[in-house]
Structure 1
Amino acid sequence: MDEIKGKKKFRMIDAILSVICVVFVAEAAAPVAAIGNSQYFWWIFLMIGFLLPYGLIASELGTTFDGEGGLYDWVRKAFGSKMGGRVAWYYWINFPLWMAALAVIFPEMIELITGIEINIAVAIMIELAFIWIVTLIAFFPISDSVWILNGAAIIKVFLAVVVGALGVYVAITQGVANEYTLTSMLPSFDVNSLSFVSVIIFNFLGFEVITTMADDMEDPKKQIPQAIVIGGIVIAAIYIFSAFGIGVAIPTEEISTSSGLIESLQLLTGNPTSLFITVAAILFLLTLFGNMISWSQGVNSVAAYAADMEDMPSVFKKRRKNGIPSGAPIMNGIVASIVILLAPIIPNEDLFWSFFALNLVMFLLSYIPVFPAFLKLREIDPDRERPFKVKGSKGFLKVLAYIPMILIIIALIFIAIPMDTSAETLSSTLPITIGAVIFIIIGEIIIRIKHKSPKI
């Protein structure tokens, strides 16, 4: 029987669909396509070099240390509260930056489908409306918004499949905008392309959420790693399929990181103002709400939990009577709003990529300590029961942990550090570098204040 005391067990298909709902983000398809044909190499390489070891490590940590704090808890247990505080800060601050990035898409998409130019004041009002709608929704239990999450998941996959299918049809009947040869699919070490490779790693992170469902699974020891790996492969296949469609329609160097998905649909259908394109654009915008809502509770809960442990500012401790964090969502809205209001003075014309890349930097930074924490926890707490345990010698486990960590560090270098001194590179990369430094310094100030030694 599939029921124990009337409670249904979580099937493998349920776990995989849940992973896809949380991890797959439609707006990442265009930045991935901007890598060019070498993206196919990087997907395969990172599935083996990053997803597999990360999936195994997340499976062990998530089922062994299943507290409310997630990766913050893992790092805090391994390296203490200061390092845990850094992880909590990086993990939280990425969310309002991501929210600001998605907010920028709204006026751009409206301009794209209507042809009407929106002035800066109106654009900012639209962006702020998105930010505060998401902020208000975050005050309520995620179960109240499950219809939004399920709908967004279906729409994401639908749009990706439609772009890919149209790409196949147009490629067969009309030809392609980019050359598809074996040589063109070999790894490209073009600096601009490599900066987008970090998006693939971003698309593989967050799978540890599946470990929270362990109690509802028939065999979590097998199902969790299988769900992570299978879910990752399915998500990679969806991204590759949609990125192929974008690549058929638009030359790589002309792909917009923010509106590339809808622009490709316009070109593939040959009718940029049709009802289908308008509906597709509206559906795409709805998925952005789904992304924010699906991540908000987890991010806000980690921030609130870290504040309870005195590793984040006290404002994050605030909760509603139902236990849902209220301080964290308000801070999300405030920070995202400040970023949007500062946007007009940022020199990079691609505001979506500026904010999205800064979100990537902070998000990736939060995961770097997770891998050495895995090794440290094996060393200091070897006798704890591990429902899922990665097998292998100490040497193998070190390789398993350090390879994905090194890949994250390399990705951060390409995304946040200017590789040359040309005006174009500096204007596109320096805002990301400066923003990352500012938020890292703010984090260090918070840690210093929270862990200041008592005066004698």
Structure 2
Amino acid sequence: MIGIDTLGAVSSSGGQALTWLLISAVTFLLPYGLLTSEMGSTFTQEGGVYEWCKLAGGRIFASFAAMLYWISNPLWVGGTLAVTAIAAIKIFWFGSSSYKFGGNNVTDAIVEMVIALLFIWGTTWCAIMSLRFGKLLSVYGSFVKLALLGVFLLLTIAFVFGGHASGQHLGASDLVPHNWGLIVSAILPVLIFNWVGFELQNGAGEEMENPQRDVPRSVIRAGITAVLAYGIVIAVILFALTKDQLSNATGFLSAFQVVSTVLPGPIATALGWIVALGVVIALASSGGTWIIGADRTYAIAALDRTAPHLLGRFSGRYGTPIAVNAMSGIVASLAMFAAIIVNAFGTGNIATLFQLVLGFVISTTTLSYLFIFPAYLILRYKYPDIRRPYRVPGGMVGAWIVTLLPLTYAAIASYFILWPTDANVSSVGRLTYELTQFVPLGIIALLTIVFYVWGQNEASNQDVIVDIAPGSEFSAGAGE
């Protein structure tokens, strides 16, 4: 759950980010985890969120959910992940995030595009390979991420106890929530973006001896682990960097660069090169893991007549949805080209580029959950007698609570990431920011409708017939 690409965005909001980290973990992460645990252990078929939304609201409803859920991931890979990879190379290989390749905006933009393309298609290639290979990428990427965080914490301890720390020394007043505009436009959207992802692992409840007992425990353990890990790293960044050094794009990377000054120069330089490579690998691992899950979801949606049949094609060699994988790479590349070009004709700095891409990545993600969360409550009423290995405690009152809490967060995050306060778009400009948000959303909505009509008119696609009997498990099969 710890996203290296968004650590800077959270820490740049100051000490109150730690307070909201804890609040959102209790009031968003916990109910969201319980909700998806019930849905995932009850409706276990491949297709995940698409099938949940189809059962709840029909194919059109599900087609928008699946499109937003899928497309947010290539936008993420071509957006914040690619930008963070570029920032890591600039900081650790060239000394500064403001470094310009070739000394001018045009050359800098071209080189950034080349780096981003290598990153995007390397990540896409990993997703195209077999699912087993993809899982190994996720595992090794997690080890790299843990190694990066471990080295960072050790260097920070040496940095602080060596008397070098010049960052914020947090007091009680720093932790008190303040500045509502900052909270709803910057802190909560990024935290929600980092918390989501439980539904990628479907059907875990079937593997537990006592899911009614074990699911809440596992969710709470995962939540506590994530809060501690995230909280420690954010606090360390705040201690290491002064307020003017905090950046939404480079906070973690800049902090790493600062604390590495406790090492002798040659060692710090060599470590920087290794760290840059480690960051790129960790980012590719995060993006590849999500691409694997989201691409399969959209491929199943295509096979169920909500998109062209071609997009439902699976590779006979690798068993992966190769058509959607390729489309993910194309979408990520287009998003990256657009963002870098807009930025090159604007300020030309990495922080502005990050702000532009972060907005539409978060908005497409949170908007997809405006479909997913209500689907849970609808399915509770629509299919009350299906056997549920795990059921959210508290009856329908509990079901309403675990739906409304995360739904409220998703709605607030969606609204204020699309219409943030003026202070949060001051470096970009209101018109530029809004155009980079609403133009892509308009294209996505139009594409969803076109794909849906296309899929419905293709005779080669098949409807998925769902058989649900009271007290039985969910089952599905293809039919005419």
Give the aligned residue type for 2:179. Answer: F
Match of 1:325 in 2: 321
Match of 2:181 in 1: 191
Does residue 100 of structure 2 align to residue 104 of structure 1?
A: no
1:1-16 to 2 correspondences below 5 Å: none
Aligned equivalent of 2:241, options 250, 258, 263: 250
Q: Distance in 2 between matches of 1:427 and 1:111?
A: 29
Match of 1:136 in 2: 125
Give the aligned residue type for 2:87. Answer: E
Give the aligned residue type for 1:274. Answer: T
| TM-score under structure 1 length normalisation | 0.87
Distance of aligned partners of 1:352 and 1:438 in 2 relative to their CA distance in 1, 3 Å threshold: same
Aligned equivalent of 1:297, options 259, 278, 292: 292
Distance of aligned partners of 1:276 and 1:65 in 2 relative to their CA distance in 1, 3 Å threshold: same
Match of 2:466 in 1: none
DSSP 3-state at the match of 2:191: helix
Q: Distance in 2 between matches of 1:303 and 1:393?
A: 32
Give the deviation of 1:441 after TM superposition. Answer: 3.8
| Poorly superposed stretches of 4+, deviation over 6 Å | none
User: Which stretch shifts more, 334-343 or 346-355?
Assistant: 346-355
Give the deviation of 1:426 after TM superposition. Answer: 1.2
Match of 2:445 in 1: 440
User: Which stretch shifts more, 314-323 or 381-390?
Assistant: 314-323
Give the aligned residue type for 2:226. Answer: I
| TM-score under structure 2 length normalisation | 0.83
Give the aligned residue type for 1:113. Answer: F
DSSP 3-state at the match of 1:406: helix
Give the aligned residue type for 2:246. Answer: I
CA contact (8 A) 1:417 1:433 kept: no
CA contact (8 A) 1:88 1:312 kept: no
Q: Give per-residue Cα distances to partners, 1:14-70, cap 9 Å, x unaligned.
A: xxxxxxxxx333222211112210011111111111111111111111100111111
CA RMSD of aligned residues (A): 2.5
Match of 2:93 in 1: 114
Match of 1:426 in 2: 430
Distance of aligned partners of 1:121 and 1:420 in 2 relative to their CA distance in 1, 3 Å threshold: closer
Q: Distance in 2 between matches of 1:238 and 1:253?
A: 24
Q: Distance in 2 between matches of 1:274 and 1:427?
A: 41
Q: Distance in 1 between matches of 2:61 and 2:147?
A: 41
User: Which stretch shifts more, 364-373 or 173-182?
Assistant: 173-182
Give the deviation of 1:169 after TM superposition. Answer: 4.6
Q: Give per-residue Cα distances to partners, 1:228-259, cap 9 Å, x unaligned.
A: 22112211211111111211122345323333
Distance of aligned partners of 1:264 and 1:427 in 2 relative to their CA distance in 1, 3 Å threshold: farther
DSSP 3-state at the match of 1:368: helix
Q: Distance in 2 between matches of 1:393 and 1:402?
A: 15
1:277-426 to 2 correspondences below 5 Å: 277-322=272-317, 323-342=319-338, 343-346=340-343, 347=346, 349=349, 350-420=352-422, 424=427, 425-426=429-430
CA contact (8 A) 2:300 2:312 kept: yes
Give the aligned residue type for 1:66. Answer: T
Distance of aligned partners of 1:427 and 1:104 in 2 relative to their CA distance in 1, 3 Å threshold: farther
User: Which stretch shifts more, 130-139 or 244-253?
Assistant: 244-253
DSSP 3-state at the match of 1:187: coil
Match of 1:4 in 2: none
CA contact (8 A) 2:123 2:285 kept: no
Q: Distance in 1 between matches of 2:131 and 2:213?
A: 27
Match of 2:464 in 1: none
User: Which stretch shifts more, 357-366 or 161-170?
Assistant: 161-170
Give the deviation of 1:126 after TM superposition. Answer: 1.5
DSSP 3-state at the match of 1:298: helix
Give the deviation of 1:129 after TM superposition. Answer: 1.4
CA contact (8 A) 2:53 2:61 kept: yes
Give the deviation of 1:448 after TM superposition. Answer: 5.2
Give the deviation of 1:198 after TM superposition. Answer: 1.3
CA contact (8 A) 1:250 1:264 kept: yes
CA contact (8 A) 2:156 2:259 kept: yes
Match of 2:172 in 1: 182
Aligned equivalent of 1:77, options 55, 62, 68: 55
Q: Give per-residue Cα distances to partners, 1:269-300, cap 9 Å, x unaligned.
A: 22685222221221111101211221222111
Does residue 196 of structure 2 align to residue 237 of structure 1?
A: no
CA contact (8 A) 2:30 2:223 kept: no
Aligned equivalent of 1:94, options 56, 66, 72: 72
Does residue 125 of structure 2 align to residue 123 of structure 1?
A: no
Give the deviation of 1:133 after TM superposition. Answer: 1.6
Give the deviation of 1:120 after TM superposition. Answer: 2.1
Q: Give per-residue Cα distances to partners, 1:330-352, cap 9 Å, x unaligned.
A: 10111111122222124474223
Unaligned runs of 5+ in 2: 102-107, 460-480
CA contact (8 A) 1:165 1:245 kept: no
CA contact (8 A) 2:360 2:437 kept: yes
CA contact (8 A) 1:249 1:267 kept: yes
Q: Distance in 2 between matches of 1:361 and 1:317?
A: 26
Unaligned runs of 5+ in 1: 1-22
Give the deviation of 1:149 after TM superposition. Answer: 2.1
Distance of aligned partners of 1:221 and 1:392 in 2 relative to their CA distance in 1, 3 Å threshold: closer
Q: Distance in 1 between matches of 2:224 and 2:439?
A: 35
Match of 2:142 in 1: 153
Q: Distance in 2 between matches of 1:409 and 1:290?
A: 29
Give the deviation of 1:202 after TM superposition. Answer: 1.6
Q: Distance in 2 between matches of 1:168 and 1:37?
A: 19
Q: Distance in 2 between matches of 1:376 and 1:392?
A: 17
Number of aligned residue pairs: give it: 432
Give the aligned residue type for 2:393. Answer: K
Give the aligned residue type for 1:440. Answer: A
Q: Distance in 1 between matches of 2:453 and 2:422?
A: 34
Distance of aligned partners of 1:423 and 1:108 in 2 relative to their CA distance in 1, 3 Å threshold: closer
CA contact (8 A) 1:107 1:126 kept: yes
CA contact (8 A) 2:41 2:205 kept: yes
User: Which stretch shifts more, 86-95 or 133-142?
Assistant: 133-142
Aligned equivalent of 1:212, options 203, 214, 218: 203
Match of 1:275 in 2: 270
